[in-house]
């Protein structure tokens, strides 16, 4: 087989065989196929697309390119969840304990974050003592005994995706549905998921700006799941404002705990109930979506999700008392309100730009080597649809440095992330559609 023939075939709009895709992906992973050939191929895919079968073959080739987690010793359906591109996305911290409490095993390997705020693993480190490096044996044992473990990703998972994603980033080939779909699904399959729930963000802050494109991406991922025997459900959700109120690591942990206690922001709670219900249903713990939803609600109301979080924290060496005593979490020294300059009704909040501001404040990493300040971040005081009067706080900065020029710059950036309207603004819709193997259901 020759790489150039495979590139030409895709350039001419033909369909690649599983063997050709395997040759390409394994050759690229081993460094035998150079970046320039892989770029040409990615551009051909960008223009000519891939069939559902090719996309599934690409997914499995990438999933096989490195280490794969073996969760088969854990009884039950292991359901994983993934959000495509959220800012300050706290759902994993809530959903893990919530669905584990409902009886669905959660064996989660998470990453550290780059950009915006930290990843789930960084956030968990805000819980004093929490250990994120467990041996594989201890990880599996913990899921078998308490139903949930969250650890840092170790080893060499989906190296093909890492290389290809980095290459796409600099060759104008990120926005290709088969390439995004296979990238996301390969990582979930390599980490051992039997079933997958996807939160596909749509709107200004997301990869897919239009609802139609988001549905196409969701369909492509559900199709892959169908082809490779991992049932997949995708929920299309709004990204026209950040989810919840907190952006920043310890602030989001606090918000996650509040939400598990039924005292969180309404949108975050609703999204977790929707995603949680789909996870519970795929995990076989409810016969219908409505039954699964009722079970998820009960886990919140009866505090069983909170109990499960305490068990998780204690099992991984952390101080479970912090779940009830939030003052034990890292807190920033200064809380500075960002005041509105005019009256108006909030019409849009740029999640991406707030994410960047939080990163500049120290909540995220610009490079892998940066150190995060777990305490700092932003807490929103207003959401889309809220009326604001001049002088009222839009948000609150949580900072560990008292430098007027820096504070002023951050304040300015946060103000600019808000857009206002003189007229009533409808509350943004949270869930637009649900895509399953049965088809697309508009909500
Ligand atoms: N997220 C991924 O993991 N891969 C993509 O290609 C795009 C978004
Ligand atoms: Ca948040």
For every residue of 184-217, which 3-state class applies, written as one string? HHHHHHHCCCCEEEEEEEECCCCCECCHHHHHHH
Least confident residue range of 112-126, 130-144, 160-174: 112-126
CA-CA distances (angstroms) from residue 377 to 117, 184, 258, 356, 383? 8, 28, 17, 11, 17
Ligand 1 center to 183 CA (angstroms)? 5
Q: Whole-structure pTM over 0.75, yes or no?
A: yes
In the structure, what pLDDT confidence band is assigned to residue 32 with cuts at 50, 70 and 90? Answer: very high
Place of tokens 């998470």: 110
**What's the alpha-carbon Rg for the chain, to the nearest Å?**
22
For ligand 1, atom 5: residue with the closest CA = 180
18-29 vs 159-169: helix crossing angle, rounded to 10: 80
The pLDDT tens digits of the residues spanning 52-99 come to: 999 999 999 999 999 999 999 999 999 999 988 666 568 999 999 999
E strands in 353-443 = 377-380, 387-388, 393-399, 418-421, 431-436, 439-442
Mutating to test ligand 1, I would choose from 119, 160, 172, 174 the residue with most ligand atoms within 8 A of its C-beta, which is 174
Buried b or exposed e, range 236-257, using 16+ CB within 10 angstroms: bbbbbbbbbbbbbbbbbbbbbb
pLDDT on residue 86 = 65
- The set of residues, in sequence order, having a beta carbon less than 8 Å from that of 379 and lying 6+ positions away, is 245, 246, 247, 248, 251, 395, 396, 398
CA geometry: angle 200, 349, 354, nearest 5 deg: 85
User: Residue 404 pLDDT more than 60?
Assistant: yes
The catalytic residue positions are 82, 161, 168, 183, 187
Residues flanking ligand 1, CB < 6 Å: 84, 165, 179-180, 183-184, 207
Domains 79-325+433-442 and 331-421 share a fold: no
Considering every ligand atom shown, identify the ligand nearest to the alpha carbon of residue 363 and give its number.
2
The predicted pLDDT at position 370 comes to 83
Atom from ligand 1 closest to the CA of residue 180 = 6
Considering the four listed CATH numbers 3.30.70.60, 3.40.1160.10, 3.40.1030.10, 3.40.140.10, the one that applies to the domain covering 79-325+433-442 is: 3.40.1030.10
Select from 286, 104, 101, 79 the least CA-distant residue to 198. Answer: 79
Q: How far is the CA of 67 from the centre of ligand 1 (A)?
A: 19
pLDDT, position 116: 72
pLDDT score of 200 more than 60: yes
The whole-number average pLDDT for the span 283-300 is: 98
**In the predicted model, what is the mean pLDDT of residues 104-109?**
95
The CATH homologous superfamily of the domain defined by 331-421: Pyrimidine nucleoside phosphorylase-like, C-terminal domain (3.90.1170.30)
Sheet holding 377-380, edge to edge: 246-247, 377-380, 393-399, 334-339
DSSP calls for 2-59: -HHHHHHHHHTTPPPPHHHHHHHHHHHHTT-S-HHHHHHHHHHHHHH---HHHHHHHH
Instruction: Read off the pLDDT of each residue in 346-357 and give the average, rounded to a whole number.
Output: 92
Q: What percent of the chain has pLDDT over 90?
A: 86
Phi-psi map region of 303: left, alpha, beta (phi>0 left; psi -120 to 50 alpha) = left
CA dihedral 172, 176, 178, 180 (to 10 degrees): 80
Ligand closest to the CA atom of residue 83: 1
For the chain, the structural domain boundaries read: 3-49, 79-325+433-442, 331-421
Q: How sure is the predictor about 49, in pLDDT bands with cuts at 50, 70 and 90?
A: very high
Q: What distance in Å separates the CA atoms of residue 318 and residue 311, rounded to the nearest whole number?
A: 10
Q: What is the DSSP letter of 84?
A: E
Average pLDDT over residues 136-148: 97
In this prediction, residue 205 carries a pLDDT of 63
Q: Do the Cβ atoms of 235 and 274 come closer than 8 Å? A: yes
Give, rounded to a whole angstrom, the gap between the first and last alpha carbons of the chain: 47
Q: What atom of ligand 1 comes closest to residue 184's alpha carbon? A: 3
Pairing between β-strand 344-349 and β-strand 418-421 as defined by DSSP bridges: antiparallel
Mean pLDDT, to the nearest integer, of 152-174?
Answer: 94
Ligand sitting nearest the alpha carbon of 208: 1
Neighbours of 13 (CB within 10 A): 10
Pocket mutation for ligand 1, best pick of 63, 180, 189, 221 (most atoms within 8 Å of C-beta): 180
Nearest CA to ligand 1 atom 6: 180
- Cα separation of 250 and 127, whole Å? 8
**Across residues 170-193, what is the average pLDDT?**
96
Q: What is the DSSP string of 222-286?
A: HHHHHHTT-EEEEEEEE-SS-SSSEESHHHHHHHHHHHHTT-S-HHHHHHHHHHHHHHHHHTTS-
Q: Is 429 exposed, middle or buried (0-12, 13-18, 19+ CB in 10 A)?
A: exposed
Least confidently predicted of 115-119, 180-184, 231-235, 286-290:
115-119
Predicted confidence (pLDDT) at residue 33 exceeds the cutoff of 80: yes
Fold for 3-49, please state it.
Answer: 1.20.970
Torsion over CA of 421, 424, 425 and 429, rounded to 10 degrees?
180
Q: Give, in order, the Cα–Cα distances in Å from 98 to each of 176, 250, 269, 439.
A: 34, 19, 11, 27
- Count the Cβ atoms, other than its own, within 10 Å of residue 90: 29
Using the predicted structure, report yes or no on whether residue 141 has a pLDDT greater than 70: yes
Distance 442 CA to ligand 2 centre (A): 25
């Amino acid at each position: 087989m020759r790489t150039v023939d495979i590139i030409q075939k895709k350039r001419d709009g033909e369909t690649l065989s599983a063997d050709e895709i395997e040759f390409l992906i394994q050759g690229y992973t081993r460094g035998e196929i150079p970046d320039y050939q892989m770029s040409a191929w990615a551009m051909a895919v960008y223009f000519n697309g891939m069939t559902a079968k090719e996309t599934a073959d690409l997914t499995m080739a990438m999933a096989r390119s490195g280490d794969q987690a073996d969760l088969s010793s854990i009884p039950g359906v292991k359901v994983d969840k993934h959000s495509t591109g959220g800012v300050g996305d706290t759902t994993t911290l809530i959903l893990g304990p919530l669905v584990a409490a409902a009886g669905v095993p959660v064996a989660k390997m998470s990453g550290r974050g780059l950009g915006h705020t930290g990843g789930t693993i960084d956030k968990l480190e805000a819980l004093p003592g929490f250990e994120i490096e467990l041996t594989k044996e201890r990880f599996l044992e913990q899921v078998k005994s308490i139903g949930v473990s969250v650890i840092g990703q170790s080893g060499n998972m989906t190296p093909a995706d890492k290389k290809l994603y980095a290459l796409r980033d600099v060759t104008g080939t990120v926005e290709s549905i088969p390439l995004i779909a296979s990238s996301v699904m390969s990582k979930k399959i390599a980490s051992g998921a039997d079933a997958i729930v996807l939160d596909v963000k749509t709107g200004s802050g997301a990869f897919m700006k239009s609802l139609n494109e988001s549905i196409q991406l969701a369909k492509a991922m559900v199709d892959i799941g169908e082809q490779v025997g991992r049932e997949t459900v995708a929920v299309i959700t709004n990204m026209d404002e950040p989810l919840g109120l907190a952006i920043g690591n310890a602030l989001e942990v606090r918000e996650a705990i509040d939400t598990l206690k039924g005292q969180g922001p309404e949108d975050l709670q609703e999204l977790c109930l929707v995603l949680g219900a789909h996870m519970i249903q795929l995990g076989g713990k409810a016969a219908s979506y409505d039954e699964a939803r009722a079970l998820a609600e009960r886990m919140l109301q009866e505090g069983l999700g909170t109990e499960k979080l305490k068990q998780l924290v204690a099992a991984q060496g952390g101080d479970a008392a912090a779940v009830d005593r939030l003052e034990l979490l890292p807190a920033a020294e200064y809380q500075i309100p960002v005041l509105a300059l005019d009256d108006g009704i909030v019409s849009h909040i740029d999640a991406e730009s707030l994410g960047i501001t939080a990163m500049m404040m120290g909540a995220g990493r610009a490079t892998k080597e940066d150190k995060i300040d777990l305490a700092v971040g932003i807490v929103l005081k207003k959401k889309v649809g809220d009326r604001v009067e001049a002088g009222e706080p839009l948000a609150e900065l949580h900072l560990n440095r008292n430098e007027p020029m820096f504070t002023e710059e951050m304040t300015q950036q946060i103000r600019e992330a808000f857009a206002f309207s003189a007229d009533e603004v409808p509350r943004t819709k949270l869930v637009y559609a649900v895509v399953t193997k049965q088809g697309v259901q508009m909500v």
